[in-house]
Amino acid sequence: MVLRVLELFSGMGGMHSALDLIEIEYEIIAAIDINPTANLMYSSNFPQVPIINRSIETISIKQWEKWHADLWTMSPPCQPFTRQGKQEDLNDRRTDGFVYLMKNILSKLESKPKYILLENVFGFQDSDAHRLLLETLQLNNYSYEQYLLSPIQFGIPNSRLRYYLIAKQQENPIDTHSSIIHTQISNFERLLTKLHEQFPSKDISSHDETSRHRNDQITDQCSHSSEILIDPNQSMIINDFILSDENAEFELDDKQLKRGLNVCDIITCYAKRSFCFTKSYGKYFEGTGSLFRTQNDHIRYFTPKEIANLHCFPSTYNFPESITTRQAYSLLGNSLNVFVIGVLFENLFER
């Protein structure tokens, strides 16, 4: 059976990439997002998918019935729940589409999706939006599992702790629902093997032991119980994900170095961890993501393609020439880790 998928708040297509990763028969019947830059990036990589550039709350229930989707994937706007934001939760108008989905679509839809996967920032689990989500799923007879997961626990050298929910509609009524939010997950081994094939270990030309020991670990500002490695022997290093050691185009100038050196996390090719890359990477220094120190001691930004690699997008994923570096960083900061989503799909479909 071909899975009919609606990709809601579709961004740059991370959910689509995860479906490709798990090798399942599917059809994206529509990708919906109001960000024209994200839609341009999406269409460049997935030209066959119908893209709808409009607010979710403007789409009638008649259209949702017509779509008759088997799976909804969604990454609703995270700004109402981030630590850096005002945390206005459901009072933030950017939650309107999500609220509309819960109250006006999912609760009234006759052809409800069998599966739902939702991703959002750490902190969403303490919000009124989260309570609305669980209440709606319970009323509509969905079983669900909740997770707090980060790529680094699978050996991917990037901290990106996120809240995830996978839900499956049941035929029989459900008496109880668990409130547990898991920080570990199973059924990831097959995809981890694929990931190591996609990003094989590369030779490092200069084996500077001082550099190796000084920079292979960074502080735990992004750490959480979920970031304990599932298998320490599976750990990959930054060198597996960078395109080249040197890249003059992305080097910091003297003014940037003076501003950033004391507040930035700087790592080398040997590092087994990097800070979470945010949409403000390249614009601000503190808390927006790691910088890279080359073997010649130059300090540079990670390129958009390298961040996409750390997010486990496929090697074929491209950035159109019309997309600026600033726009690419912004989209990546709002994106997700394809591998982690793939593992959640594996568990959702019980493969």
The residues assigned a catalytic role are 78
Give the Cα separation of 125 and 123 in Å (integer).
5
Burial class from Cβ neighbours inside 10 Å (0-12, 13-18, 19+) for residue 3 reads middle
Q: List all residues 6 or more positions away from 302 whose beta carbon is below 8 Å from its beta carbon.
A: 242, 250, 274, 277, 281, 289, 290, 291, 292, 310
Strand segments, DSSP code E, in 150-305 are: 162-169, 181-182, 266-267, 291-293, 299-300
In whole angstroms, give the CA distance from residue 347 to residue 350. 5
Give strand pairing partners of 164.
119, 147
DSSP 281: B
Which residue, among 133, 140, 63, 69, has the nearest Cα to 101 in the 3D structure?
A: 133
Angstrom CA distances, 216 to 122, 208, 236, 267, 329, stand at 25, 12, 11, 7, 24
CB 14 within 8 A of CB 341: yes
> Virtual CA dihedral for 14, 15, 20, 22, nearest 10 degrees?
120
- DSSP secondary structure letters along 209-231: HHHHHHHS----TT--GGGS-S-
Q: Which residue type does 163 have?
A: Y
Nearest Cα neighbor of 336 from 192, 185, 189, 163 is 163
The pairing of strands 142-149 and 162-169 is: antiparallel
